[in-house]
Structure 1
Amino acid sequence: MVRGHSFQLGSFLAWAKGLLWDNPHQSWFLVILVIINALGSLYGYYWYRDQLSSTPLIWWPFTPDSPLSTTLFALALTLAIWRKENNLFRLIAATAVIKYGLWAVVLISDYWLGGARIELVEAGLWLSHLGMFVEGIIFIRHWAFSYIDLVVVSCWLLLNDFIDYALGWHPYLFRADQYNLALLTAVSLSLLLTAYLVLVAKYSSRQEKSLSRRIYT
């Protein structure tokens, strides 16, 4: 029995690695993620209903950070299903779900560590935002981009931080004293994602140069 269970676990891990690490672009998996992200987006906009009702329309694209991120990601995966990918669009989507997924995990965790009870709603938000972060990590390593894409994405991330914290249109926080943590986490994630993309771009460039040398020697 132990050997049988070990074999089943090994088979499952091999299957999971093949799906999540090697080839996440399987149609059935993309469809499931599109549905999950679409439903999560709808709930997210409902969650932001009070803040949106008191926010000028011009700032709406910068206020519901998480549901907007999952909306973009659902659209990026839909384009992947249709074989009509756009490198810049999907890079924006991937970095957005990574950033705001982890941002929310940090803020909710801090809320709990400050003595708040772990309620079902907050636990669901914590898990769903962790899922955002994970799905972004799964796909971003498979998606090519140019230096121009990198610059645009970096500017987009930092523009969101400026509008959220310099102009004051950030999402409502769980506690008023979380402002500094929210600001530090958001800006740090923007810079870390930019640094990651720069490293990937440099590594890809070196790989291409190395391949060119091999071809012409």
Structure 2
Amino acid sequence: MSFFWSRSFLSSRLLLWSLFICNLFGTIYGYIWYESQLRETWVHHPKWQLVFVPDSPTASLFFTLALLFLMFPGVLGKLNFLRTLIEGLAVVTSVKYGVWAVSMIFAGAAQGGELVWQDWMLVASHMAMAVEALLFVRLFKFGTGMLLCAGAWTLLNDAVDYMFEVYPWLPQTLWDNVPEVMVFTFCLTIASVVLGWLALKGAKRTRAKF
């Protein structure tokens, strides 16, 4: 089983292309999913807040771009600063919003909400976001500095979400729990940075052995 999270398997062209295509289509679907909220934000909020609305698809976009740097290192090799920034953002946001979405779906269901097939599809896809990001840390080049930058951006996103009420629309059963959701969201961002750092340290130890 260890083969399936080995460097040779994760760096294979077949897997990279497969993940790139899946994440690209998932990103497009995610932005379509946010269409109604984006329209409402456009009408009722300052335009600069639009970038903070579609959280999960933007996280998926970061990971999709990070895969491009792995697939075409020669062509994109000179963009090292951009690469490491995107990688840091991909890890922090994919872990954070992957876990966040699953948590909100089950929290809503625990308070009486109904789970439909779209919910199970979202659970599977968002858990995959978190897992793939942590697995690919060993192939990424970002360091602690970029991880902290990604964490700072994600905390800014959290602040804008809840200060200006552009956070992702919640299940109806959670409408009375926005303060608790806000606290959970900020804590999850910090936890995602810590998980990314632990994965980064683990990857460095693994590389040092070989």
TM-score normalised by the chain length of structure 2: 0.81
1:63 counterpart = 2:53: yes
Deviation string for 1:48-83 (max 9, x for gaps)?
Answer: 111000113322221010011111111110121011
Is the partner of 1:55 in helix, strand or coil?
helix
Tell me which residue corresponds to 1:19: 4
2-structure distance, mates of 1:190, 1:172? 18
Tell me which residue corresponds to 1:88: 85
- Structure 1 residue ranges without an equivalent (≥5): 1-12, 212-217
Give the number of equivalent residue pairs.
192
Higher relative contact order (CA 8 A, sep 6+): 2
CA spacing shift, 1:113–1:203, aligned 2, 3 Å: closer
Instruction: Name whichever of 31-40 and 174-183 sits farther off.
Output: 174-183
Larger radius of gyration: 1
1:168 counterpart = 2:151: no
CA spacing shift, 1:46–1:202, aligned 2, 3 Å: closer
1-structure distance, mates of 2:103, 2:199? 25
Q: Partner letter of residue 4 of structure 2?
A: L
CA spacing shift, 1:167–1:203, aligned 2, 3 Å: same
Is the partner of 2:145 in helix, strand or coil?
helix
2-structure distance, mates of 1:44, 1:75? 16
2-structure distance, mates of 1:204, 1:119? 38
- Does the 8 Å CA contact 1:103/1:182 hold for their aligned counterparts? no
- Does the 8 Å CA contact 2:16/2:67 hold for their aligned counterparts? yes
Q: CA RMSD in A?
A: 2.3
- Does the 8 Å CA contact 1:91/1:140 hold for their aligned counterparts? no
Tell me which residue corresponds to 1:122: 119
Tell me which residue corresponds to 2:68: 78
- Structure 2 residue ranges without an equivalent (≥5): none
2-structure distance, mates of 1:33, 1:199? 23
Instruction: Name whichever of 112-121 and 179-188 sits farther off.
Output: 179-188
Is the partner of 1:35 in helix, strand or coil?
helix
Deviation string for 1:79-116 (max 9, x for gaps)?
Answer: 21011361121111121111100000100011111122
Q: Partner letter of residue 162 of structure 2?
A: Y
Tell me which residue corresponds to 2:135: 138
2-structure distance, mates of 1:94, 1:196? 9
2-structure distance, mates of 1:81, 1:67? 21
1-structure distance, mates of 2:21, 2:154? 25
CA spacing shift, 1:179–1:150, aligned 2, 3 Å: same
- Does the 8 Å CA contact 2:134/2:199 hold for their aligned counterparts? no
CA spacing shift, 1:89–1:133, aligned 2, 3 Å: same
CA spacing shift, 1:78–1:200, aligned 2, 3 Å: closer
2-structure distance, mates of 1:203, 1:72? 22
